[in-house]
Structure 1
Amino acid sequence: MAWENSKAHTPADRLANSEFRARRYLNAHERRWCAGHFFDAIRFRRKYQWLLSRLALAENPDTLLQLHLSLAPIATRPPHFQVIAGEERLQAAVAAMPTPDAPEDYIRFVLSFSDQLARSLLRLFPPDEAIRAAQAFNRRAPTILRVNPLLVSRAEFLRIHSDLRPTPWSPWGVYAPAGVNVYTLAGYREGWFEIQEEASQLSAFLSGVRPGDTVVEIGAGGGGKTLVLGALMRNRGRILAIDVHEGRLKELMKRAQHAQIHCVKPLLVEADETGRWQHRGRSWRRIEKIHTQAQCVLLDAPCSGSGVLRRSPDARWREVCIEEFSQIQRNLLLEAAPLVAPGGRIVYVTCAFEPQQNEEVVEWFLSSPAGRGFRKEPVLEALRRAWKHAAALVEKESPDRQRNDRKNTEDMPPLEALCAGDFVRTWPHRHDLDAFFVALLRRCE
């Protein structure tokens, strides 16, 4: 009921945490049980609506939850639970649901996606792969930690935590066991790690920043990518972290202090509803001073968030206007362009999969007057260089640089699998990664 009443304003994970804080008598197992069923009930809401209609039952939070538990494995149900409408009627309703032979209805109702998301997947993939992609978005994402190479190597961290294992794509990544409270792990208080998904880590690696650089991050948010930039720069240089939300910047600086990243300067800007900055005041004067000076501008663009549905099951039910996001993204690229030094780059990142927020925005920018001095950079070679550099920073075991370079090359994953033409595109059904898009735009010398 609480999510139904507040879903337009409160993300489900934040609401769940608030409810758990009010019920401290629940133990860890009970919280995991409640959270799992709560998020699955939201994730499959459209499927449950279809079944309730078929069963001629009213839709309300109680019937939605009862139906969810009726479809769950018997071992996960409460004691003495009664299946809604009776087992025979329920199974008959399930058997009547659309099949993969009608892929759009199957994705919409059985896999429980909005019409907009279902159509987007079917435009991107043939029907069978669109179904696999939707199924992968419905699976719960693994918890990924990112070690802080300023403080610890991944090998050392894994020696301390023998139950953890390395991730395949990021040399800084570590899988955490399902259900573990990562804040109780050794090294958390010392800033040895953060929670960060692999595709997000890779997008920050692609900045290619080095110690001493001047870097701008637009849309810095809570600072996940900012901390990667600071570690890549070994705390030498400067990062101007720009955002329109003061609370996010305050959280960023707390995290930076915890991770012992000292080269970050936060900057709060004002922007209109289309993303254009207000070119006045102290913040704008600070931005003007670094025009044409940044070796890299990382634009973590506001987007619909369709690429992180595994982690935000309620996001599929938010009403979003893709055209409004596209306009904001185009305007932020226009704000980013003057900041880039000759030979520098813009790294354009979204966690959305619709081309209207990705390829189409990049192509529009490159054809605009502001973008004609930029060109797309070959992404595979840049990704390989970025991976090797990141791997070398986190491997503190040997002073033999030549041997480490050879080891890094041997351990490198098949990064070409992440590349789609001129861009990086990651997918849960292909790579077990969130759906990220990354473009590299190099300013001509």
Structure 2
Amino acid sequence: MKLEHRNLLLGIHSALDDTFFGENKYADKVLERLLKTQKKWGSQDRAVVSEIFYNIIRWKKRLEYYMGEGVKPGNLYKLILVYLIWSETEYRRFEEFQGIKIADSIAKIKKRNFPNKAIEYSIPEWLVNQFQTELPNVWEREMNILNEQAPLVLRTNALKTTPEELCEALRERNVACHTLRGYPDAVELEEKKNVFLTESFKNGWFEVQDASSQLIAYYLDIQSGMRVVDACAGAGGKTLHLAALMQNKGQIIALDIHQWKLTELKRRAKRAGAHNIETRLITDNKVIKRLYNSADRLLIDAPCSGLGVLKRNPDAKWKLNDDFLSRIKIEQENILQDYSKILKKGGKMVYATCSILPSENQNQVEKFLSKNTNFRLIKEQSIMPSEGYDGFYMALIERENE
């Protein structure tokens, strides 16, 4: 990996400044905007900038230890330099680095030891305590994996093509890829490339969706012709998958509290050729109450900590805190309790999160079932990052004919 041009360094500096010191800006959006503005950068330049940018965010706490100080607006060049030296990345000695003293940093890098687990795994101290409490035997293994880069996985749109046909089309555009055993619609790229410029994407043949996430729609046990409610639809990744599995037959009602996400869902649905989706904005509880006892299937992809997807969203761990985690658990409990009433008798729902914490997953389901004896757990599955893809939890629950 080579960092040979001064403007690449300036781009990384600008993106880090926006991420760490901007107004709650997410790293993926910051990088997307940067790459759009740098039209002269080639594919290799973009790949280098993206990798360094995300790795610095990923290893922020360890880099702060090497530097001997926290990340501040005035020391971002030093932060970049320390990362480049630690990772043994090739670089030229940019003029911005002149006068920066890094002897102490180099000494710490060479020692290869860490005073605590938070620095070793580059996570906040409160999160170490949370992991040690909830996942005492496995959390270090999982954090090792979560500090790696995420693979790029596509979900084939079964309304228009097959994984084999999609792979063939992508290979014609020099995009190396392969299908995945155990994931019926998944295609994994062997190296990251901008696939959004391909005719395959423009024609709605695929969406980007992690392999673990693709299992959730199958878990819901849906059939063509059903009435399905996606209660936390967002921009519709799983909604579109449900539409494909239903072969455009039946009805999907996609709910969310953000209109812009539903607008994006409609745009994606048009490209995908998904015609059985109706969007509804949740403006108050009446929207939910009107749907009581009406759905054959219900998907609750609940808001969560996102600790299972840190590979692709490493900045999330710096935005989280224990207060947020406490609040989100209350929200999960309320959503599960309120939205479950949407199901008909005999209907089934999936409660899912992209967290690996039992307190957001199994514990929430157990609490719900203890209060609602007319529901029963059919099955549940925890997918850990060490299994290869994002960490997810899903539980299939049935409302009994009471």
Mapping of residues 208-357 of structure 1, within 5 Å = 208-270=221-283, 278-280=284-286, 283=287, 287-288=289-290, 290-320=291-321, 321-357=324-360
User: Where does structure 2 lack aligned partners over 5 or more consecutive residues?
Assistant: 1-16
Alignment counterpart, residue 153 of structure 2, candidates 144, 147, 153: 144
* Equivalent residue pairs, number: 376
Q: Which residue of structure 1 lines up, in the alignment, with residue 68 of structure 2?
A: 53
Answer yes or no: is the 8 Å Cα contact 2:169–2:200 preserved in 1: no
Q: 1:132 aligns with which of 132, 141, 151?
A: 141
CA distance in 1, matches of 2:269, 2:89: 45
2:208 is aligned with 1:195: yes
Which consecutive residues of structure 1, in runs of 5 or more, have no partner in the other structure?
A: 271-277, 380-422
- Match among 10, 19, 22 for residue 3 of structure 1: 19
Give the Cα–Cα distance (whole angstroms) in 2 for the partners of residues 138 and 311 of structure 1: 9
CA distance in 2, matches of 1:167, 1:49: 38
The answer as to whether partners of 1:293 and 1:339 remain within 8 angstroms in 2 is yes
The reply to whether residue 425 of structure 1 matches residue 368 of structure 2 is no
Q: CA deviation at 1:17?
A: 1.5
After the TM superposition, which residues 66-215 of structure 1 pair with which residues of structure 2 at under 5 Å, given as runs?
A: 66-75=81-90, 77-78=91-92, 85=101, 89-96=104-111, 98=113, 105-106=116-117, 108-126=118-136, 129-162=138-171, 163-215=176-228
Q: For residues 242 and 74 of structure 1, what CA distance do their matches in structure 2 show?
A: 46
Alignment-derived partner of residue 10 in structure 2? none
CA contact (8 A) 2:61 2:119 kept: yes
Residue in 2 that maps onto 1:382: none
Deviations 1:248-304 (A, max 9, x none): 00000111111000000000012xxxxxxx334xx45xx52x422211110010111
CA distance in 1, matches of 2:397, 2:68: 50
Q: Structure 2 matches for 1:394-433, cutoff 5 A?
A: 423-429=380-386, 431-433=387-389
Contact 1:52-1:59 at 8 Å conserved across structures: no
Aligned partners of 1:59, 1:70: CA distance in 2, in Å?
A: 19
C-alpha distance in structure 2 between counterparts of 1:59 and 1:47, whole Å: 18
Aligned-partner Cα distance in 2 for 1:355–1:38: 31
Rounded Cα–Cα distance in structure 2 between residues aligned with 1:444 and 1:181? 47
Alpha-carbon spacing, 1:16–1:80, altered in 2? closer, same or farther (3 Å): closer
For the Cα contact (< 8 Å) 2:352–2:394, is it kept in 1?
A: yes
Mean CA deviation greater in 13-22 or 259-268:
13-22
- Structure 2 length-normalised TM: 0.87
Cα distance, 1:206–1:43 mapped onto 2, change above 3 Å: same
Partner of 2:274: helix, strand, or coil? coil
Q: Distance in 1 between matches of 2:74 and 2:59?
A: 14
Q: CA deviation at 1:173?
A: 0.2
Q: For 1:171, what is the secondary structure of its paired residue?
A: strand
Task: Give, as a single letter, the amino acid of the residue that structure 2 aligns with 1:376.
Answer: L
Query: For the residues of structure 2 that align with 1:324 and 1:220, how far apart are their CA atoms?
Result: 20
Q: Deviations over 1:158-206 (max 9, x none)?
A: 3333431012331100011322111133421111111000111101111
Q: Of 385, 396, 402, which residue of structure 2 is paired with 1:440?
A: 396
Distance 1:51 1:197 in 2: 33
Q: Distance in 2 between matches of 1:41 and 1:167?
A: 30
SS of alignment partner, residue 433 of structure 1: coil
Contact kept? 1:293, 1:340, Cα under 8 Å: yes
**Could you tell me the TM-score, scaled by structure 1's length?**
0.79
Gap change, CA 1:79 and 1:344, over 3 Å in 2: same
The answer to whether the 8 Å contact 1:54/1:93 transfers is no
* Cα distance in 1 between the residues matched to 2:325 and 2:123: 16
- Partner amino acid for 1:166? T
Residues 56-100 of structure 1, C-alpha deviations (whole Å, 9 max, x = no match): x9972222112111112243x23679796456x44431244545x
Distance 1:41 1:161 in 2: 31
CA RMSD of aligned residues (A): 2.3
Determine the C-alpha separation between the residues in 1 that align with 2:74 and 2:66.
Answer: 10
